[in-house]
Amino acid sequence: MCGIVGFVGEEHAKERIVEGLKRLEYRGYDSAGIALPIDGRIEIRKHVGELENLEKIIADPTFDAAAGIGHTRWATHGAPSDVNAHPHGNQDNSIAIVHNGIIENYQEIREWLSTEYGVRFKSDTDSEVIAHLIGIYYDGDLHKAMNKAVEDMKGAYAVCAIAAAEPDKIVAVRKDAPLVAGLGNGCNFIASDIPAMLKYIKEFYTIENNETVVLTKDDITIYNEKGEKVKRDVLHVSWDADAAEKEGYEHFMLKEIHEQPKGISETLLRRLDANGNVVLDGISMSKEDIEKLDRIYIVACGTAYHAGLVGKSIIEKLVKVPVEVDVASEFRYRDPFVDDRTLFIAISQSGETQDTLQSLREAKAKGARILSVVNVVGSSVARESDDVFYTWAGPEIAVASTKAYTTQLICMYLIAMYMGRTRGTLSQEDHDRLLGELKALPEKVEQIFQSEEKLAYLAKKYQYKEHIFFIGRGMDAGVAYEGSLKLKEISYIHSFAIAAGELKHGTIALMDPTVLVIALATQDGKIGEDSLYDKMVSNIVEVTSRGARVIALVKDGMEKVEQISDEVIYIPRCADEVAPVLSVIPLQIFAYYVAKERGENIDKPRNLAKSVTVE
Ligand code: AGP
């Protein structure tokens, strides 16, 4: 999604802004630009494509200033192009703006501006109207003009503006799009996200909806909707900029895959007291709140939704409350049964996913209690929830989510265990057994990394397959969806996941020797007629007898599967309930190496963005 960076200090704004934009590359973008107030006018330079293109046209040392704004754009209105790139100027380029979000009534405003003021538009974007609105209201006070412009705007926006006549000031506003101000020494920053500023500073102010911010080199002043000054606590961030770097790995995705043991430990240990009991520090749900619940919705998108599928299994098993999992873009339009006995769990790495956020608001308005599982501290989902259960994955840069998923799973277990104990549906003995299983996971994930070479070999061998199916039963089915998404989003191979028992109702028609099936069969806890493992063995035979090649994914000790599969991947032995945390790791690594073999842009796959802040 679009990224915004603004800097105001004494000099070298260009360098700071470009550095910030580089840090925001992970959000996905198709063009980039920068605007600086130079010699009484605003100079805007922008270019379609990678940041390198922009860097070439701003290399000139005379193009620099003490303040400025920059942007990476992810097209929504108007194709990716130089003119549609941000910043946008008003008629005489005395004002420039960068914008993240969508101005819903931009066509109306465009018509009004061209009829009333003869404004001629240069771009096809919705954003350009903001520069012109500020331009027509500007009488020497940028803050005042921004406030007036906002009155005309409908939609979602984070906007930063500069004016040629006030070259030492940035004015910004936010409504339903992320914005954070950064507190420097003799300089200040504003950006869509904390990593954009981490190289220079560690202290931040979150900006809330409908607030405006005025930044000079010495001050950051936040105003609420009524124009009153707001006092905000400083947010101290302990990550350093290196945490967002690759640390020797070829790609962020591989680095983040390898960070999973640490992320799992952190997420787990921060929620355990000295006696090993789950504590929900900072979460205000009382025993009564938990006891009165009669329905739980888990709502999320993409990978986070897949974490919800596993969450449903574990919560229903331990808490004995019906759980529905829904993709946020469906939930928000289906008028679900929600009341004050409903718990709504939003899962989101970024905490800025528009569909998830809107679903949350919908559920909140109907009286549900909102608990979110979020990675980005201070994000919109976190701020609008009653309670937040943070994942401690650290910044996730690769578009393909890996460590966010496994830490989301850990949160699902902890929430289920806590609620199960509170409602008396989980015995202390089962609680302790499960906790032991969870604590053993980081070490077991490390063991899986020893199979990386084999997974790279399998990736090389099967990289040319045009169709890859992922099948599984029970909790394995949820992981199959995630494995399939991982593969398709970075390798661009057509891939499809299905509950293995569903195969015979249609999809089996596609099985032939050209197809590869990845069969997850980790659920071997139950023996006998109901054993999911035995059912999976039958499913594997069903597809191999039609010529499909099979890679089976099983626990150590299930070597028999070698007789019916082309290849077998093993994960360490563990309880069935926690197997999803382990079984997803080989699938992530396989997807990574397939994409690498095919020479794809692994960290920034085509058409995708890290944080999807549009509907
Ligand atoms: C997964 O690899 C994708 N990046 C995507 O499905 C992602 O999980 C989804 O867009 C939700 O994002 P969120 O967790 O930030 O809400």
Q: Where are the domains of the chain?
A: 2-245, 254-439, 451-597
Say whether 118 sits in a helix, a strand or coil: coil
Q: Which residues contact 226 (CB under 8 A, 6 or more apart)?
A: none
Tell me what the mean pLDDT of segment 237-248 comes to: 68
Q: Indicate the CATH number of 451-597 among 3.20.20.140, 3.40.50.300, 3.40.190.10, 3.40.50.10490.
A: 3.40.50.10490
Contact 45, 167 (CB under 8 A): no
**CA separation for the pair 602, 257 (Å, rounded):** 13
**Residue 97: helix, strand or coil by DSSP?**
strand
What is the position in ligand 1's atom list of the atom closest to the CA of 405? Answer: 8
DSSP code at position 507: G
- Beta-ladder partners of 494: 467
Give Cα 101 to chain centroid, integer Å: 16
Q: Of ligand 1's atoms, which has the minimum distance to the CA of residue 402? A: 2
Q: What's the CATH superfamily of 254-439?
A: Glucose-6-phosphate isomerase like protein; domain 1 (3.40.50.10490)
Give the pLDDT of residue 242. 61
Looking at residues 601-615, what average pLDDT do you find? 87
Distance between CA 517 and CA 551 in Å, rounded? 6
How many helices, marked H, and strands, marked E, lie in the chain? 19, 25
Catalytic residues: 2, 610
Q: Which of 27, 192, 301, 495 to mutate to test the pocket of ligand 1 (most atoms within 8 A of CB)?
A: 301
* 270 confidence band (pLDDT: 50, 70, 90): confident
Specify the range with the lowest mean pLDDT, choosing from 189-203, 311-325, 480-494, 578-592.
189-203
Contact predicate 143/214, CB 8 Å? yes
Pocket of ligand 1 (CB under 6 A): 301-304, 348-350, 353, 356, 399-401, 489, 611-612
Q: Are 498 and 508 in contact (CB under 8 A)?
A: no
SS3 276: coil
Express each pLDDT in 138-158 by its tens digit: 999 999 999 999 999 999 899
State the pLDDT at residue 309.
97
**Per-residue pLDDT for 244 more than 70?**
no
Give pLDDT, residue 92: 95
Q: What are phi and psi of 94, to 5 degrees?
A: -90, -15
Residue with tokens 């098993």: 317
Class of domain 2-245: alpha beta
More confident residue, 164 or 101: 164
- Please give the average per-residue pLDDT across 360-383, as a whole number: 91
pLDDT in tens, 180-205: 999 999 999 999 988 899 999 999 99
Which residue among 353, 406, 604 is best mutated to probe the pocket of ligand 1, counting the most ligand atoms within 8 A of its Cβ? 353
Distance CA 375, CA 393 (A): 7
From 89-98, 124-133, 265-274, 395-404, the region with the lowest mean pLDDT = 265-274
Please give, one letter per residue, the 3-state secondary structure of 299-366. EECHHHHHHHHHHHHHHHHHHCCCEEEEEHHHHCCCCCCCCCCEEEEEEECCCCCHHHHHHHHHHHHC
Confidence of residue 102 (pLDDT cuts 50, 70, 90): confident
User: With 80 as the cut, is the pLDDT of residue 235 above it?
Assistant: yes
For residue 273, what pLDDT is reported?
84
Average pLDDT taken over every residue of the chain = 93
For 376-423, the pLDDT digits (tens) are 877 889 889 999 998 989 888 899 999 999 999 999 999 999 999 999
Predicted confidence (pLDDT) at residue 572 exceeds the cutoff of 70 = yes
Distance of CA 549 to the CA centre of its chain: 34
Specify the ligand 1 atom closest to the Cα of 609: 4
- Least confident piece of the model among 61-70, 76-85, 248-257, 397-406: 76-85
* 254-439 matches 451-597 in fold: yes
- The token pair at 48 is 């379609």
509 C-alpha to ligand 1 centroid (Å): 31
How close is the Cα of 559 to the center of ligand 1, in Å? 35
